[in-house]
Amino acid sequence: MPNRPFFDMVELKGGGDATSAARAVLQTGEFDFAWNMQVEHQVLSGLERGGKGKVLITPGAGIEHIQVNFTDPWTEVDGERSSLKKSHPFQTDPLIRQAYALAVDRRTVAEQLYGAGGQPSSNFLVAPSRFVSSNTRWEFDPKKAATLLDQAGWKRGSDGVRVKDGQRLKLVYQTSVNPIRQKTQAIVKKTFEDIGIAVELKAVNAGVYFSSDPGNPDTYSHFYTDIQMYNTGPGAPDPQVHMDRFTSWQIAQKANNWSGRNIPRWSHPEYDRLWKQAATELDPVQRAALYITMNDMVIQHNVVVPVTWRHGVAAAGTKLRGMDLTSWDSNLWHLAYWYREA
Protein backbone atom coordinates (compact mmCIF):
# COMPACT_ATOMS: atom_id res chain seq x y z
CA MET A 1 0.00 0.00 0.00
CA PRO A 2 1.29 3.55 -0.74
CA ASN A 3 2.80 5.61 2.12
CA ARG A 4 2.94 2.58 4.37
CA PRO A 5 6.09 1.89 6.43
CA PHE A 6 8.38 -0.76 5.07
CA PHE A 7 8.49 -2.55 8.43
CA ASP A 8 5.61 -3.58 10.66
CA MET A 9 8.03 -3.71 13.58
CA VAL A 10 11.67 -2.79 14.27
CA GLU A 11 13.54 -4.58 17.05
CA LEU A 12 16.77 -3.02 18.29
CA LYS A 13 19.23 -4.96 20.42
CA GLY A 14 22.32 -3.59 22.15
CA GLY A 15 25.07 -4.98 24.32
CA GLY A 16 26.74 -8.31 23.76
CA ASP A 17 29.78 -8.46 21.48
CA ALA A 18 30.54 -7.80 17.84
CA THR A 19 31.12 -11.44 16.90
CA SER A 20 27.76 -12.52 18.32
CA ALA A 21 26.05 -9.68 16.44
CA ALA A 22 27.73 -10.77 13.19
CA ARG A 23 26.61 -14.37 13.74
CA ALA A 24 23.03 -13.22 14.41
CA VAL A 25 22.92 -11.69 10.93
CA LEU A 26 25.27 -13.79 8.82
CA GLN A 27 24.84 -17.23 10.35
CA THR A 28 21.51 -17.63 12.14
CA GLY A 29 19.53 -14.93 10.32
CA GLU A 30 17.99 -13.91 13.65
CA PHE A 31 18.60 -10.23 12.86
CA ASP A 32 18.77 -8.31 9.60
CA PHE A 33 21.48 -5.73 10.26
CA ALA A 34 24.46 -5.21 12.57
CA TRP A 35 26.89 -2.31 12.60
CA ASN A 36 30.39 -1.52 13.91
CA MET A 37 31.65 -5.06 13.30
CA GLN A 38 35.07 -5.12 14.97
CA VAL A 39 35.48 -8.78 14.06
CA GLU A 40 38.46 -10.50 12.45
CA HIS A 41 38.09 -10.40 8.69
CA GLN A 42 38.67 -14.16 8.41
CA VAL A 43 35.77 -14.78 10.79
CA LEU A 44 33.50 -12.42 8.86
CA SER A 45 34.48 -14.01 5.55
CA GLY A 46 33.68 -17.46 6.90
CA LEU A 47 30.29 -16.35 8.17
CA GLU A 48 29.51 -14.58 4.90
CA ARG A 49 30.08 -17.79 2.94
CA GLY A 50 26.98 -19.19 4.65
CA GLY A 51 24.90 -17.13 2.20
CA LYS A 52 22.53 -15.50 4.71
CA GLY A 53 24.03 -12.03 4.49
CA LYS A 54 26.76 -9.73 3.23
CA VAL A 55 29.61 -7.88 4.90
CA LEU A 56 29.41 -4.18 3.97
CA ILE A 57 32.47 -1.93 4.14
CA THR A 58 32.41 1.85 3.73
CA PRO A 59 35.11 4.50 4.22
CA GLY A 60 35.40 5.43 7.87
CA ALA A 61 36.96 8.06 10.12
CA GLY A 62 37.75 6.01 13.22
CA ILE A 63 41.29 5.53 14.47
CA GLU A 64 42.23 2.61 16.69
CA HIS A 65 45.09 4.09 18.68
CA ILE A 66 47.31 3.58 21.70
CA GLN A 67 47.38 6.44 24.20
CA VAL A 68 50.40 7.23 26.36
CA ASN A 69 49.73 8.35 29.93
CA PHE A 70 51.72 11.49 30.80
CA THR A 71 50.79 11.20 34.49
CA ASP A 72 51.66 8.57 37.09
CA PRO A 73 48.86 5.98 37.33
CA TRP A 74 50.48 4.18 40.26
CA THR A 75 50.91 7.04 42.72
CA GLU A 76 47.96 8.62 44.50
CA VAL A 77 48.09 12.37 45.14
CA ASP A 78 45.31 13.95 47.20
CA GLY A 79 43.10 10.93 46.58
CA GLU A 80 43.70 10.88 42.81
CA ARG A 81 45.83 8.60 40.65
CA SER A 82 47.05 9.83 37.25
CA SER A 83 47.11 13.25 38.88
CA LEU A 84 48.42 16.33 37.11
CA LYS A 85 50.56 16.86 40.19
CA LYS A 86 52.64 13.75 39.46
CA SER A 87 54.20 13.11 36.05
CA HIS A 88 54.72 9.62 34.74
CA PRO A 89 58.06 8.23 35.96
CA PHE A 90 59.44 7.61 32.46
CA GLN A 91 56.89 8.30 29.71
CA THR A 92 57.53 12.03 29.70
CA ASP A 93 60.87 11.16 28.05
CA PRO A 94 60.32 11.65 24.29
CA LEU A 95 62.80 8.87 23.47
CA ILE A 96 60.60 6.36 25.29
CA ARG A 97 57.51 7.45 23.38
CA GLN A 98 59.38 7.39 20.07
CA ALA A 99 60.44 3.83 20.84
CA TYR A 100 56.81 2.85 21.45
CA ALA A 101 55.77 4.21 18.05
CA LEU A 102 58.55 2.32 16.26
CA ALA A 103 57.66 -0.95 18.02
CA VAL A 104 53.97 -1.13 17.01
CA ASP A 105 53.56 -3.39 13.98
CA ARG A 106 50.66 -1.56 12.36
CA ARG A 107 50.80 -3.46 9.07
CA THR A 108 50.48 -6.88 10.71
CA VAL A 109 47.55 -5.69 12.83
CA ALA A 110 45.74 -4.22 9.81
CA GLU A 111 46.37 -7.07 7.39
CA GLN A 112 45.95 -10.05 9.72
CA LEU A 113 43.10 -8.76 11.89
CA TYR A 114 41.14 -6.08 10.00
CA GLY A 115 41.62 -6.96 6.32
CA ALA A 116 39.57 -4.59 4.16
CA GLY A 117 38.07 -3.13 7.33
CA GLY A 118 41.20 -1.17 8.22
CA GLN A 119 44.61 0.06 7.16
CA PRO A 120 47.78 1.30 8.90
CA SER A 121 47.86 4.99 9.71
CA SER A 122 50.41 7.57 10.80
CA ASN A 123 47.73 10.17 11.58
CA PHE A 124 45.19 10.67 14.34
CA LEU A 125 42.94 12.87 12.17
CA VAL A 126 42.18 10.63 9.18
CA ALA A 127 39.12 12.26 7.57
CA PRO A 128 37.78 14.26 5.78
CA SER A 129 40.60 14.28 3.25
CA ARG A 130 41.21 18.06 3.25
CA PHE A 131 42.23 17.83 6.94
CA VAL A 132 44.56 14.83 6.53
CA SER A 133 48.28 15.47 6.94
CA SER A 134 50.77 14.29 4.34
CA ASN A 135 53.67 15.20 6.63
CA THR A 136 53.69 12.13 8.86
CA ARG A 137 55.12 8.66 8.31
CA TRP A 138 54.86 5.45 10.29
CA GLU A 139 57.68 2.95 10.59
CA PHE A 140 58.04 -0.45 12.22
CA ASP A 141 61.67 -0.76 13.30
CA PRO A 142 62.32 -2.64 16.57
CA LYS A 143 66.09 -2.24 16.23
CA LYS A 144 65.79 1.53 16.04
CA ALA A 145 63.39 1.45 18.98
CA ALA A 146 65.91 -0.55 21.03
CA THR A 147 68.62 1.99 20.16
CA LEU A 148 66.43 4.82 21.44
CA LEU A 149 65.94 2.98 24.74
CA ASP A 150 69.72 2.59 24.98
CA GLN A 151 70.14 6.31 24.38
CA ALA A 152 67.58 7.03 27.10
CA GLY A 153 69.77 5.13 29.58
CA TRP A 154 67.68 1.96 29.94
CA LYS A 155 69.95 -1.09 30.03
CA ARG A 156 68.87 -4.71 29.84
CA GLY A 157 68.86 -6.61 33.11
CA SER A 158 69.62 -10.31 33.57
CA ASP A 159 66.00 -11.18 32.68
CA GLY A 160 66.07 -9.08 29.50
CA VAL A 161 63.92 -6.30 30.95
CA ARG A 162 65.49 -2.86 30.86
CA VAL A 163 66.38 -1.06 34.08
CA LYS A 164 67.34 2.52 34.90
CA ASP A 165 68.12 3.90 38.36
CA GLY A 166 66.75 0.72 39.91
CA GLN A 167 63.40 0.91 38.09
CA ARG A 168 62.27 -1.76 35.62
CA LEU A 169 60.75 -0.66 32.32
CA LYS A 170 57.35 -2.28 32.81
CA LEU A 171 53.98 -1.24 31.40
CA VAL A 172 50.37 -2.15 32.02
CA TYR A 173 48.52 -2.01 28.70
CA GLN A 174 44.71 -1.97 28.84
CA THR A 175 41.84 -2.04 26.42
CA SER A 176 38.30 -3.40 26.23
CA VAL A 177 37.39 -7.07 25.84
CA ASN A 178 37.28 -7.87 22.12
CA PRO A 179 39.11 -10.64 20.21
CA ILE A 180 40.76 -8.21 17.77
CA ARG A 181 41.92 -5.97 20.60
CA GLN A 182 43.37 -8.85 22.60
CA LYS A 183 45.23 -10.08 19.50
CA THR A 184 46.48 -6.55 18.86
CA GLN A 185 47.68 -6.43 22.46
CA ALA A 186 49.54 -9.71 21.93
CA ILE A 187 51.27 -8.41 18.77
CA VAL A 188 52.37 -5.21 20.53
CA LYS A 189 53.45 -7.08 23.69
CA LYS A 190 55.67 -9.45 21.68
CA THR A 191 57.69 -6.66 20.07
CA PHE A 192 57.87 -4.57 23.23
CA GLU A 193 59.26 -7.52 25.16
CA ASP A 194 61.74 -8.25 22.35
CA ILE A 195 63.23 -4.78 22.86
CA GLY A 196 63.30 -5.06 26.66
CA ILE A 197 59.95 -3.64 27.83
CA ALA A 198 57.91 -5.84 30.17
CA VAL A 199 54.20 -5.66 29.40
CA GLU A 200 51.23 -6.74 31.51
CA LEU A 201 47.99 -6.93 29.56
CA LYS A 202 44.64 -5.87 31.00
CA ALA A 203 41.25 -6.40 29.32
CA VAL A 204 38.17 -4.67 30.73
CA ASN A 205 34.55 -5.42 29.89
CA ALA A 206 33.43 -2.79 27.36
CA GLY A 207 30.43 -1.81 29.48
CA VAL A 208 32.84 -0.97 32.29
CA TYR A 209 35.68 0.45 30.20
CA PHE A 210 33.50 2.97 28.35
CA SER A 211 31.38 3.82 31.37
CA SER A 212 31.13 7.44 32.48
CA ASP A 213 30.80 6.41 36.14
CA PRO A 214 33.20 8.70 38.09
CA GLY A 215 33.48 6.06 40.83
CA ASN A 216 34.67 3.35 38.46
CA PRO A 217 38.50 3.18 38.39
CA ASP A 218 38.57 0.94 35.29
CA THR A 219 37.13 3.45 32.81
CA TYR A 220 39.29 4.61 29.95
CA SER A 221 38.87 8.21 31.14
CA HIS A 222 40.44 7.42 34.53
CA PHE A 223 43.37 5.86 32.61
CA TYR A 224 44.94 4.13 35.59
CA THR A 225 47.48 2.26 33.44
CA ASP A 226 50.57 3.24 31.46
CA ILE A 227 49.14 2.84 27.97
CA GLN A 228 45.67 2.01 26.66
CA MET A 229 43.90 1.45 23.37
CA TYR A 230 40.50 2.15 21.87
CA ASN A 231 38.87 3.65 18.79
CA THR A 232 37.54 7.14 18.29
CA GLY A 233 36.72 9.53 15.50
CA PRO A 234 35.02 12.84 14.74
CA GLY A 235 31.37 13.21 15.63
CA ALA A 236 30.85 15.38 12.55
CA PRO A 237 32.62 16.05 9.25
CA ASP A 238 34.26 19.08 10.88
CA PRO A 239 37.15 18.20 13.26
CA GLN A 240 36.82 21.10 15.71
CA VAL A 241 35.30 19.05 18.53
CA HIS A 242 37.34 15.95 17.68
CA MET A 243 40.64 17.80 18.04
CA ASP A 244 39.81 19.63 21.25
CA ARG A 245 40.59 16.36 23.06
CA PHE A 246 44.24 17.44 23.30
CA THR A 247 43.60 20.92 24.72
CA SER A 248 44.60 21.71 28.28
CA TRP A 249 41.06 22.61 29.38
CA GLN A 250 39.81 19.14 28.38
CA ILE A 251 42.15 17.16 30.67
CA ALA A 252 40.24 14.37 32.44
CA GLN A 253 40.70 14.61 36.21
CA LYS A 254 38.93 14.27 39.54
CA ALA A 255 37.87 17.94 39.47
CA ASN A 256 35.63 17.30 36.43
CA ASN A 257 34.66 13.73 37.41
CA TRP A 258 36.95 12.44 34.64
CA SER A 259 34.57 13.85 32.03
CA GLY A 260 37.31 15.73 30.16
CA ARG A 261 38.24 14.42 26.72
CA ASN A 262 42.01 14.84 27.06
CA ILE A 263 42.68 11.34 28.38
CA PRO A 264 46.51 11.17 27.97
CA ARG A 265 46.73 14.42 29.99
CA TRP A 266 49.28 15.92 27.62
CA SER A 267 49.14 19.67 27.17
CA HIS A 268 51.05 22.19 25.09
CA PRO A 269 50.41 25.96 24.91
CA GLU A 270 51.04 26.02 21.15
CA TYR A 271 48.41 23.35 20.58
CA ASP A 272 45.92 25.35 22.65
CA ARG A 273 46.71 28.45 20.60
CA LEU A 274 46.27 26.62 17.28
CA TRP A 275 42.93 25.16 18.35
CA LYS A 276 41.58 28.56 19.42
CA GLN A 277 42.77 30.11 16.16
CA ALA A 278 41.09 27.38 14.10
CA ALA A 279 37.83 27.86 16.02
CA THR A 280 37.50 31.40 14.60
CA GLU A 281 39.32 31.02 11.26
CA LEU A 282 36.95 31.65 8.32
CA ASP A 283 39.31 30.83 5.46
CA PRO A 284 38.77 27.08 4.80
CA VAL A 285 42.28 26.48 3.44
CA GLN A 286 43.99 28.16 6.38
CA ARG A 287 41.65 26.41 8.80
CA ALA A 288 42.49 23.00 7.35
CA ALA A 289 46.19 23.82 7.62
CA LEU A 290 45.75 24.57 11.33
CA TYR A 291 44.17 21.18 11.99
CA ILE A 292 46.91 19.45 10.02
CA THR A 293 49.49 21.20 12.21
CA MET A 294 47.61 20.08 15.33
CA ASN A 295 47.59 16.50 14.11
CA ASP A 296 51.30 16.71 13.37
CA MET A 297 52.03 17.98 16.89
CA VAL A 298 50.18 15.06 18.46
CA ILE A 299 52.10 12.59 16.28
CA GLN A 300 55.51 14.27 16.64
CA HIS A 301 55.15 14.31 20.42
CA ASN A 302 53.93 10.69 20.34
CA VAL A 303 50.95 11.49 22.52
CA VAL A 304 49.19 8.63 20.76
CA VAL A 305 50.32 5.85 18.46
CA PRO A 306 47.80 5.42 15.63
CA VAL A 307 47.40 1.70 14.97
CA THR A 308 44.59 1.17 12.45
CA TRP A 309 42.43 3.55 10.44
CA ARG A 310 39.16 1.69 10.76
CA HIS A 311 36.47 1.67 8.10
CA GLY A 312 32.77 1.12 8.55
CA VAL A 313 32.02 -2.61 8.71
CA ALA A 314 28.42 -3.79 8.88
CA ALA A 315 26.48 -6.98 8.20
CA ALA A 316 23.16 -7.10 6.35
CA GLY A 317 20.89 -10.08 5.88
CA THR A 318 19.76 -11.13 2.42
CA LYS A 319 16.10 -10.84 3.50
CA LEU A 320 16.34 -7.05 3.51
CA ARG A 321 14.68 -5.45 0.51
CA GLY A 322 15.21 -2.06 -1.06
CA MET A 323 19.02 -1.98 -0.61
CA ASP A 324 21.66 -3.13 -3.07
CA LEU A 325 24.07 -5.31 -1.12
CA THR A 326 26.42 -5.57 -4.09
CA SER A 327 27.19 -1.84 -4.19
CA TRP A 328 26.52 -0.65 -0.66
CA ASP A 329 26.76 3.11 -0.21
CA SER A 330 24.15 4.44 2.17
CA ASN A 331 23.97 7.98 3.50
CA LEU A 332 22.11 6.56 6.47
CA TRP A 333 25.09 4.35 7.26
CA HIS A 334 27.45 7.32 7.12
CA LEU A 335 25.20 9.22 9.50
CA ALA A 336 25.26 6.27 11.87
CA TYR A 337 29.02 5.96 11.59
CA TRP A 338 29.96 9.53 12.50
CA TYR A 339 31.02 8.51 15.36
CA ARG A 340 31.31 7.26 18.91
CA GLU A 341 34.16 6.03 21.06
CA ALA A 342 34.09 2.25 21.06
Q: Give the rounded percent of residues in the chain with a pLDDT score beyond 70.
A: 92
The Cβ-side half-sphere exposure at 282, using a 13 Å CA radius, reads 0
Average pLDDT (148-171) is 97
| Number of CB atoms found within 10 A of residue 171's CB | 21
The answer to whether residues 308 and 119 touch, using CB atoms and an 8 Å cutoff, is: yes
- Whether pLDDT at 184 is above 70: yes
| Number of CB atoms found within 10 A of residue 177's CB | 14
Three-state SS for 98? helix
C-alpha angle 211/214/219, rounded to 5°?
Answer: 40
Q: Lowest mean pLDDT: which of 154-158, 233-237, 292-296?
A: 233-237
The answer to whether residues 86 and 72 touch, using CB atoms and an 8 Å cutoff, is: yes
How far is C-alpha 92 from the geometric centre of its chain's CA atoms?
21
Average pLDDT over all residues of the chain? 91
* Amino acid found at 38: Q
Q: What is the pLDDT of residue 306?
A: 98
Q: Give the rounded percent of residues in the chain with a pLDDT score beyond 90.
A: 73
Convert 67-101 to b/e letters by CB count within 10 Å (16 or more is b): bbbbbbbeeeeeebbbbbebebebbebebbbbbbb
Q: What is the pLDDT of residue 329?
A: 47
Q: What is the pLDDT of residue 51?
A: 85
Q: What is the pTM of this model?
A: 0.90
Q: Lowest mean pLDDT: which of 4-18, 66-80, 275-289?
A: 4-18
Q: What is the pLDDT of residue 335?
A: 35
- Whether pLDDT at 58 is above 90: no
The answer to whether residues 292 and 123 touch, using CB atoms and an 8 Å cutoff, is: no
Helices (H), ranges, 160-223 = 179-194, 206-209
- Whether pLDDT at 341 is above 70: no
Q: Which helix (H) or strand (E) holds 228?
A: strand 227-232
What is the per-residue pLDDT across 191-220, written as a single tens digit (0 to 9) for each?
999 999 999 999 999 999 999 999 999 999
What is the per-residue pLDDT across 256-300, written as a single tens digit (0 to 9) for each?
999 999 999 999 999 999 999 999 999 999 999 999 999 999 999
How far is C-alpha 210 from the geometric centre of its chain's CA atoms?
12
What is the per-residue pLDDT across 103-135, written as a single tens digit (0 to 9) for each?
999 999 999 999 999 999 999 999 999 999 999
Three-state SS for 100? helix
Average pLDDT (303-318) is 93
The answer to whether residues 319 and 30 touch, using CB atoms and an 8 Å cutoff, is: no
DSSP conformational letter for 3: T
- Whether pLDDT at 307 is above 50: yes
Evaluate whether the domain defined by 61-309 bears CATH number 3.30.1340.30: no
Could you give the CA distance from residue 151 to residue 59 in angstroms, rounded to a whole number? 40
